[in-house]
Amino acid sequence: MKNKKEEENHHCIFVHVGEKVAVEMRNQKKRKSDFAKKVGTDRRNLYRILRKHSLETDLLYRYSKELKHNFFRDLADEFDKKHPNLKAL
C-alpha cells in the first residue's frame, strides 16, 4: 500500500506548462494582447490557456515558434530529471 506522499507524487503534474509559457513571455517582455493576436486567439482566451497545467501540442508548437523557445525540450528535460532511470527505446 502506498503512503500519502507516494500517492501525491504519482498523481501530480510535473510541469505547469501554461506557467512556463507565461514566464517566458514575461522574460521576453511580450504583451499578452500582441502575443494572442500572433498566435491566433484573443487576450481573454490566452489568459485562460495560460492557467492550464497542460496544453495541446499544436498550441505549444505555435507558442514555441512565436517565442523562439522549445517548450517541448523543457518538458523532456523535466521528465528526464523526474525519471532518470527510463531509457529511450
pLDDT > 50? residue 58 = yes
Query: In percent, how much of the chain has pLDDT > 90?
Result: 66
Domain boundaries, the chain: 16-82
Q: Which three cell numbers stand for residue 40?
A: 491566433
The label of the residue with cell 521576453 reads 28
pLDDT band for position 89 (cuts 50, 70, 90): low
Task: Determine the Cα–Cα distance for residues 83 and 19; give it in Å rounded to an integer.
Answer: 22
pLDDT in tens, 13-51: 578 999 999 999 999 999 999 999 999 999 999 999 999
CATH classification for the domain delimited by 16-82, as one of 1.10.10, 3.30.499, 1.10.260, 2.30.30: 1.10.260
CA atoms of 12 and 83, how far apart (whole Å)? 14
CA distances for 83 relative to 7, 73, 76, angstroms: 16, 15, 10
